[in-house]
Each structure stands twice: as C-alpha cells, then as structure tokens.
Amino acid sequence: MAAKKKTKKKVSKKNITKRHTNQRKSQKPPVLNEFKKILVGMVILVSLCLIAAMVADIFFQPRTAVDKKKDLTILNKQQEKHKIKPVQEGISGVRIKKAVTGLKKKEENIIDYEVFEDVDQTLIEKKSLLPGKGHIPQIVIIIDDIGYDKKIALALCDLDSNITFSVLPFAPFGKIISKQLHAKGSQLMLHLPMEPVEYPEINPGPGAILSSMSPDTLLNQLKKNMNDVPNIVGVNNHMGSKITTRSDQMNQIFTILKRENLFFIDSRTAPESQCKASARLLRLKFGQRDVFLDNFQNQEYITGQFEKLKALAIKHGSAIGIGHPYEATLHTLSSELPKLKNKIKIVRADRLVSIPG
C-alpha cells in the first residue's frame, strides 16, 4: 500500500511539472506583444492621416481663378436654363450680314432670329394711300416682346407717348408693365406667340398658337392670351412663320379679333403670309410691318433701318417699323426722334390700319 501511494505522488508531481512547462512555452514574451500593439497602432494612425489629407485636398483645396470662372459659367448656365426669355422674330443671319457690311464684327450682337427665306428686313410695298399735298408723313413704331424689362419699356414710352407696345402673354412682368404704360397713355397690343416653321426646335413660348391645335383648343388659347394682357387694342404675331401661312387657322383667329373689335398687324415673318387675305375676307382692320429696326443691336445699323423707315413714310405717306426693348434701340431712338419734328409724325398703331381693299 505504501509503495502504491508513493508511486501516485511521483506521477502527480511529474504531471504538474509538465503542465507548467507547456504553459511557459505557450506564453509569448511580453516585449514582443507590446511591440506588435505599437506597430498596429502606428499603421492605423498613418492610415487615418492619409485619409484626412485626401479629404482636405478634395474639400479645402484653394480655388484658383480658373476654377472660380468655371463655377461662375456653370451657375450662369443654370440660371439661364430656368429664366424664360422670348425668341425674337426676324431675319436669318445670312441676310442680315448683307445689310450691315462695313460694321466691325465685334460690335455685332447677332440674335437667333426665326429663319425664313426670301423676305428682306425691309418690306417694300406700295401703299394704297399716297400722301396728299401738305400731308405730313406718318410712322408707327411698335416695340415687341414687352414683359421682361420694365426699365427700358418705360424709358421708350418717355421718348414719345405715341410709341406702341406689344406685350407677350404670361410674361413675368407683363401685367404690371402694361398697366404702367397704359397709365402713361401708351397704346398696347398683344404680341401673340405663333408657331414657326422650325417648331419645336424654336419655341414661341407660353400661350403659343400651334398648327396641331383643334379649333376649340386654338380659340380657347387665344382668349386666354387676350385676357392676360390688359387694355389691348390690337394684335401682332410673335414668330408664326408656319401659322400665318394657313388661311383656315388665320380665319379662326381673325373671327375672334373681329368680334372683340381688335385690329391685326402682320409682322411678316413668312413671305407666303395669308394674313392680309384673311383680313380682307373677314373685313378686319389690318396693317403690316415695313421695316425691322434692330435685328442687330448696333446703333449704326438701327439708325440705317430708321432712315429706311422714314424714306418709306415720305414716299408712301406712312410706314410701320418694329423694334424691341434693347438698350441700343433706346439710345438710337433717343437721338433720332427729336430730328423728326415738323417733318414726320409718330402715330399710334390704330392710325395706320384699315380693312384691306
């Protein structure tokens, strides 16, 4: 019994000794553990520093003049995208360039006018009424596209209260400008947006009369346009190189104008315009544009066009000119209108309309 107990004690001590040895082998030196911890920490810290540097480089990089210019260009494009502007009616660039030979190219401000063929900016047509003896020639000046620039519209009105203003429907400031011009005694017209040949690439804007409209839709849109511009006495077309060549739709339009006792002045944006024939059929008071004044926003050019308008009035007794609310137009008329005193008289649009014979 004693021998067995002794053997058991030896085995127990041996097992304990072996267990301690294995534990010591499994334990790593403390210095190595600490070194690895420090190394991992340094790697993480360097990574964070690199990430922070990249973020700072992206978001806090100093803006150069080129960068600022690019940002401004992008901002302007975004603003222009959401700002509604009228597209002017008139003559294509090819025909205009022939009329302004000799002007400095950098002074030319070319507008994207509605393109159509075979119509010069000066419409030479013999008047049915020739001037009598002692008759003072008369001219009508219509300023289209009113509703966007209040300052220029009122300044043009101050030049001569007989200047006629044609207002676009649903323009942002159309109603307030119309009321102020009417209070000053100016005559107002509706500048009726009508479909051009190039539609939909060129859009006449809100309230456009389109060839695809049914008669009911067309007439409802026309009435809405007329109701949007207060105190109108007549209508002229904004663009419309397609619609004005369609006699059936012009007859529909003129039926309403006749009922409302409104006259129509054809801006002549199409050589095949049927407006005069429709006015004759429906016995509607009618007139048509003789000269576009400001296809180029250049005072020298506008002065030349104004001279053509005066020459036509002297030759035929009267003439109708159409311009737009441009600074160049305002400056030109400011200097040219005083020269008309006792030679040529500016009259309102309703004075030069009559039922075509």
Residue 161 in domain = yes
- Residues of the chain scoring pLDDT < 50: 1-11, 25, 68, 71-72, 74-84, 89-120, 124, 126, 128
Tell which residue, 238, 124, 123, has the closest CA to residue 171: 238
Residues 26-59 pLDDT 10s: 555 566 677 777 877 777 887 777 777 666 655 5
Domain encompassing residue 121: 93-125+135-352
Residue 157 in domain = yes
Residue 73 in domain = no
Q: Please state the pTM of the whole predicted model.
A: 0.69
List, as one string, the DSSP characters of 99-125. HTTTS-GGG--B--PPP-SS--SB---
User: Which pLDDT belongs to residue 48?
Assistant: 79
User: Which pLDDT belongs to residue 51?
Assistant: 76
User: Which pLDDT belongs to residue 126?
Assistant: 47
Residue 38 in domain = no
Residue 265 in domain = yes
The count of domains in the chain is 1
- Contact predicate 56/208, CB 8 Å: no
Residues 151-170 pLDDT 10s: 999 999 999 999 999 999 99
Residue 48 in domain = no
User: Which pLDDT belongs to residue 99?
Assistant: 32
User: Which pLDDT belongs to residue 43?
Assistant: 77
Q: Taking the CB of residue 331, how many other CB atoms lie within 10 A of it?
A: 14
User: Which pLDDT belongs to residue 75?
Assistant: 43
Quote the CA–CA distance of 266 and 246 in Å, as a whole number: 13
User: Which pLDDT belongs to residue 151?
Assistant: 96
Tell which residue, 356, 357, 343, has the closest CA to residue 138: 343
Residues 107-155 pLDDT 10s: 333 333 343 444 445 554 545 455 555 689 999 999 999 999 999 999 9
CATH number of domain containing 306: 3.20.20.370
Residue 130 in domain = no
Residue 165 in domain = yes
